[in-house]
Structure formats: structure tokens, C-alpha cells
Amino acid sequence: MPYRVFGVDEVAQYLHLGRADIEHLVNNREIPFEKVGDRLVFRKMSLDAWASRRILGLEGRGLTEYHQKASQNTRSVRAREAILPDLINPGFIDSALPAKTKASVIREMVQLAVSTGRVNDAKALRLGIEEREGLCSTGLPGGLALLHTRQPDIYLVELPFIVLARTIQKIPFGSPDGGPTNLFFLLGTPDDRLHLHTLARICLMAQKTQMLESLRSAVDAQVMFQALLDAEVEVLPRNGKGETEIRD
């Protein structure tokens, strides 16, 4: 429901933040909001694009803390801590995508997504991705991009998924560091909370593990898939004994 409106507590839960975090963002006018009398309101349509841009820009401690909050707040919609095994498999990966331009990357990534059988409306998915890229590129330093629509939509996606492609040649994609891109993720997640959590997890995996190097050196899709699973395990919450917590 893109036209939904949140109060302060609702938006805090939606964005995986605390009430104090929201109040800080409002005081600094760093988040889109409106005042209706004495009440603060937040429109979902404005929040979704803002939230994804914020997550893609987080680094270091800020990203780690956000990911921890998102992990806690999404446990009610996840069967286990590891989310990638339910979203991707080797058949969702193309290790040699022939695209040579930004437009052709988007088209071919949508085609890859359609091949999963989890997309309801391929045209609307492509247009949604193009609209999101029109706001600002989802390209990130390090040569990867996290394609997604401006807001999650239960009508576009049958089941949540991630597809991944490595292009044969590097492509200018608008990364803030000016570098080219050759690793492309496309996220399709109809659940709002899972969408933001998945963005944060992949960003954390890219920053805190050797995932990008492993994906670039992998000989095929199966090896790329295993590199993703290994990287996710590295960033999962750990118990007091230093062991990864796997919740089934």
C-alpha cells in the first residue's frame, strides 16, 4: 500500500530504527515528514526510496548497527537467521551476462528474474527499477549494484527472490566512486521489512567479507552461490560462545 501513512512509532518499526533515531532524523530534517497539527506523519511512498538510499550509503559501525536492529525486527517474518538460501539458488545466477549498457543490464536482469518463476509482471518490474534508478543509482563502491523497485509491491512478485549476474565487461552504472560495475543483484521482496533487511545484509556482506572478490573469481554459478552463502554466515549474529546462531 504505497499511500500508507505512519506515525512516529510505526515508522520506527517499519525502518528498523528506534523512536529516538526517528526524532533525531526529524530534528535534523534528514527524513521526509509532514506535520498535521501537532502530529508528525510519514508517507510510505516518500519513505521507501529514502530508506533504500540511506541503507546503500551506510558504512562501518552505522551499517552494522542498522543490520542488527533489522535482524531483530524481522524475526517474526523469517524462519531462520540466514535469509539467502530461501531467496537464491544457482539457477538464479548468471556468471556471464552479455549486457554492455545500463539499460541492457536492467532488461537482462529482469529477464533473469522472470526465469525464476517468481515474477508476476515483468514490464512493471522493469519500469519500477528504471524509476528507482532515476532517483539515484543503486551502484555502490566496489563494483556492485543492488537493483530494486522504488517500493516493494506484492503484485509484482509471487515469492521473494534475489538474482545475481556478473557481466562479461565492466559497465558505467553511476557508482558514487566513479568506478565501473560488473556485479548486479536484483531484489524482489514483497514484504517491506524483508526488503530493507535484505538490502542491509548484502551491503554488510560486501563491506565485511571477501564476497566481491570471491564472486569475481568464481568459475561458475554454483561457486558464486556458495560464495554468497559463506559470506552470509560470516555476518550472522553470534552467541556468547562466538558461534553463529542458526535459527530454524
Q: Which fold is adopted by the domain 5-57?
A: Arc Repressor Mutant, subunit A (1.10.10)
Cα end-to-end span (Å), the chain: 30
CA 2 to chain centre: 18
Give domain limits for the chain.
5-57, 75-235
pTM recorded for the entire structure: 0.86
pLDDT digits (tens, 9 = 90+) for 156-214: 888 999 999 999 999 999 999 999 999 999 999 887 778 888 999 999 999 999 999 99
User: What's the grid cell of residue 51?
Assistant: 530508506
Q: 142: phi > 0 → left, psi -120 to 50 → alpha, else beta; which?
A: left
Query: What pLDDT was estimated at residue 163?
Result: 98
Per DSSP, what are the bridge partners of residue 36?
A: 39
Query: What pLDDT was estimated at residue 243?
Result: 39
- Say which residue the cell 524462519 belongs to: 79
From CA 182, how far away is CA 199, in angstroms rounded?
Answer: 18
Query: What pLDDT was estimated at residue 125?
Result: 94
Query: What pLDDT was estimated at residue 239?
Result: 45
Query: What pLDDT was estimated at residue 238?
Result: 65
Same topology between domain 5-57 and domain 75-235: no
CATH of 75-235, one of 3.30.43.10, 3.40.630.10, 3.40.80.10, 3.40.930.10: 3.40.930.10
Query: What pLDDT was estimated at residue 2?
Result: 53
Query: What pLDDT was estimated at residue 76?
Result: 60
Q: For the purposes of burial, counting CB atoms within 10 Å of the CB of 12, is it exposed (0-12), middle (13-18) or buried (19 or more)? A: buried
Given a cut of 50, the residues of the chain with pLDDT beneath it are: 1, 239-248
* DSSP type of residue 238: B
Could you give the C-alpha distances from 128 to 33, 116, 133, 149, 179, in angstroms and in order?
23, 18, 9, 5, 24
Query: Across 135-194, where does the E strand assignment appear?
Result: 139-140, 144-147, 161-171, 181-188
Report which residue type is found at 121: D
Q: Residue 13, Cβ neighbours under 10 Å: how many?
A: 15
From CA 161, how far away is CA 147, in angstroms rounded?
Answer: 12
